[in-house]
């Protein structure tokens, strides 16, 4: 496949290249794309170095698939141009997620909604992805009525500037700040901008995206999202209220068998999911399962995942893998001259 990675020099773009290589996605031609100031620089992939090209050059080469991680405004401008030349776009920004005619996909949950007509496919928000992977088998069995979620989100979700701020603060060094307050030895209950209803945009993303991905507008969701001084993954404390009574042993069995889930639930031996264990892993780790003793038909659980991998890069690559497996994504025969030469 001729594959473009848009935003190839960023945290998520770099991780996309890593995941494509690790999962052995059939990349015959790599087109790394970044901002104009990065054009001509190189990135490493599969032991070779590839020159970064401009967006226009990438469109001209008509890739089979373009995986975007370059921000909403860039995606709004360029994703349709790729789609017009027949490229399937998988976009990691929030630009297309809630558009009624665009699919919002987590492969373990709703890949079946994809069709050959879907040329721009949205990758959900990182915190939503890991949550719905854990919720899917439980919703199928018991029907979820309400979700109360509090997140503990890694600074890597903000980007390199935030990681640098944390490490500089830890070393007592001055530097640029991604946050309005210190993040080391602190928590910020503030991710993205505040809205008129008092929630942040990140919190409302979880509300709306969960309903769309699960295909059920009756699920009620309320969220509090918090930035924590962690590198390696997002954690979530989730409380679920079901329509039906549940059996805790069956819940464990359902989660243990669910695709993409690793059950780590052995408090007697101090076994529970942590960001350190999820770092650089593709799975969603679930533990601390217990009945909510204050409310009938309600369950508490703890969910952890690497936000740069399953929360972004891996989920996008899995979408491409599904399209390829189902014959929706097919390599187009092209005699276009290969403009990117490995060095």
pLDDT digits (tens, 9 = 90+) for 197-213: 999 999 999 999 999 99
Catalytic residue check, 29: no
In this prediction, residue 331 carries a pLDDT of 65
As a whole number of angstroms, the distance between CA 217 and CA 32 comes to: 38
As a whole number of angstroms, the distance between CA 110 and CA 106 comes to: 6
Catalytic residue check, 126: yes
The tokens for 87 are: 């490229």
Looking at per-residue pLDDT, the higher value among 272 and 332 belongs to: 272
By C-alpha distance, which of 209, 23, 12 is closest to 109? 209
pLDDT tens for each residue of 279-322: 999 999 999 999 999 999 999 999 999 999 999 999 999 999 99
In the set 126, 139, 190, 279, the catalytic residue is: 126
337, pLDDT greater than 70: no
135, pLDDT greater than 50: yes
Q: Where are the domains of the chain?
A: 2-124+311-325, 127-307
Pairing state between β 284-291 and 261-263: parallel
- Rounded to two decimals, the pTM is 0.94
3-state secondary structure at position 88: strand
As a whole number of angstroms, the distance between CA 262 and CA 310 comes to: 13
142, pLDDT greater than 90: yes
As a whole number of angstroms, the distance between CA 187 and CA 285 comes to: 23
As a whole number of angstroms, the distance between CA 218 and CA 23 comes to: 36
Thinking of the domain 127-307, which architecture would CATH place it in? 2-Layer Sandwich (3.30)
In the set 29, 139, 234, 279, the catalytic residue is: 234
HSE-CB at 62 with a 13 A cutoff on CA atoms is 11
Mean of per-residue pLDDT scores for the chain: 95
Domain 2-124+311-325 in CATH 3.40.50.2300? The answer is: no
Could you tell me if residue 280 is left (phi over 0), alpha (psi between -120 and 50 degrees) or otherwise beta? left
Q: Is residue 127 within 8 Å of residue 210, measured between CB atoms?
A: no
Task: Place 36 in a pLDDT band, splitting at 50, 70 and 90.
Answer: confident
Lowest mean pLDDT among 34-43, 170-179, 216-225, 293-302: 34-43
In this prediction, residue 195 carries a pLDDT of 98
Overall average pLDDT of the 155-181 stretch: 96
In this prediction, residue 330 carries a pLDDT of 77
As a whole number of angstroms, the distance between CA 127 and CA 124 comes to: 8
Q: Is residue 93 within 8 Å of residue 69, measured between CB atoms?
A: yes
Task: Place 85 in a pLDDT band, splitting at 50, 70 and 90.
Answer: very high
């Amino acid at each position: 496949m001729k594959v473009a990675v848009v935003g190839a020099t960023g945290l998520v773009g770099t991780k996309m290249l890593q995941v494509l290589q690790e999962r052995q996605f059939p990349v015959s031609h790599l087109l790394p794309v970044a901002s104009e100031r990065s054009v001509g620089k190189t990135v490493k992939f599969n032991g070779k170095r590839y020159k970064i090209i401009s967006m226009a050059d990438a469109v001209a080469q008509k890739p089979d698939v373009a995986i975007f991680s370059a921000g909403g405004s860039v995606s709004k401008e360029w994703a349709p141009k790729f789609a017009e030349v027949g490229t399937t776009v998988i976009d990691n920004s929030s630009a297309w997620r809630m558009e009624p005619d665009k699919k919002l996909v987590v492969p373990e949950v709703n890949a079946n909604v994809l069709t050959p007509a879907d040329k721009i496919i949205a990758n959900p928000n990182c915190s939503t992805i890991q949550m719905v992977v854990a919720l899917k088998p439980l919703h199928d069995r018991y029907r979820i009525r309400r979700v109360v979620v509090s997140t503990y989100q890694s600074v890597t979700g903000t980007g390199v500037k935030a990681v640098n701020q944390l490490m500089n603060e830890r070393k007592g060094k001055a530097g640029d700040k991604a946050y309005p307050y210190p993040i080391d030895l602190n928590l910020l209950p503030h991710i993205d901008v505040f809205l008129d209803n008092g929630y942040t945009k990140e919190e409302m993303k979880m509300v709306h995206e969960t309903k769309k991905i699960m295909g059920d507008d009756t699920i009620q969701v309320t969220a509090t999202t918090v930035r924590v001084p962690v590198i390696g993954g997002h954690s979530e404390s989730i409380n679920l209220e079901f329509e039906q009574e549940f059996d805790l042993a069956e819940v464990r069995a359902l989660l243990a068998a669910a695709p993409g889930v690793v059950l780590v639930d052995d408090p007697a031996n101090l076994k529970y999911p942590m960001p350190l264990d999820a770092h650089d892993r593709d799975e969603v780790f679930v533990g601390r399962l217990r009945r909510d003793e204050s409310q009938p038909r309600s369950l508490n659980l703890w969910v952890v995942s690497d936000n740069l991998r399953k929360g972004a890069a891996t989920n996008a690559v899995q979408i491409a893998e599904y399209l390829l497996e189902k014959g929706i994504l097919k390599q187009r025969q092209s005699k276009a001259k290969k403009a990117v030469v490995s060095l």
